[in-house]
Amino acid sequence: MRAEVWESFLAELSSFCQNHDILVPNMDDNYRFSRDPVVTNLIEYRDRTFYKAIDSQLEVLNDLFGEVNMELLLSAASLSPSNSFHHFDKQKLLRLAQFYPKEFSTSELLVLAHQLDEYILDMRSDERFSKLNSLADLSRMLVETKKHIIYPLVYLLLKLALLLPFTAPLEERSASAMEEKLSEYVCDTFMNDCLVTYVETDVLHGIANDKLVNCFETLKPCN
């Protein structure tokens, strides 16, 4: 944004000002409210205002997503089906699986590596998967074509990736407090139920909140 957005932002702002008879200051002129002759309008408006706003937003994002969460999200992006799985990266997906040792044992990681090789060849050769754009679309198509059964570990990884937008900020703030409680409930059945709420959002709009709350209150531990 520092390198590319300022010029377009300034052009848009200047156009707005001209349409409303507002004087647009010359960016090379001295900033009239500063006693420092070195401070130009460009320095004041771009460096001290525009860049400062970007830095402030970046600081908020960094607080929300730590290094581990960023690695998780970037690795999960390798599952994206857009542009015929252009971003597929086997090593990043194996790295993603390593963050879930309870779901992927050492032997299962080896099986996953083999499944990923067959999976990507299958996906790129099947026309039904050629125009997908999101992980939710990919999840639906895998179930519709029964290929979630052929590649169970890849499908498990996909389910974990779909849950990341909800769990990443939560884990950053309260992992230690919630870990023991969540571990009782996070099993395949619970994970599938959570994915229904993510994929079938249109259906859920017609369900009252109190009914959803009652369902969660009656959840039983997996063990």
What residue ranges do the domains of the chain occupy? 5-64, 67-217
pTM value is 0.52
Q: In this structure, which amino acid lies at residue 22?
A: I
Residue 216, pLDDT above cutoff 70: no
Angle between helices 152-185 and 67-76 (to 10 degrees): 150
Mean per-residue pLDDT, 181-200? 56
Kindly report the average pLDDT of the chain as a whole number: 81
Residue 192, pLDDT above cutoff 70: no
116-164 pLDDT, tens digit per residue, is: 999 999 999 999 999 898 899 999 999 999 999 999 999 999 999 888 7
Residue 146 buriedness (CB in 10 A; 0-12 / 13-18 / 19+): exposed
Residue 203, pLDDT above cutoff 90: no
Contact 75, 92 (CB under 8 A): yes
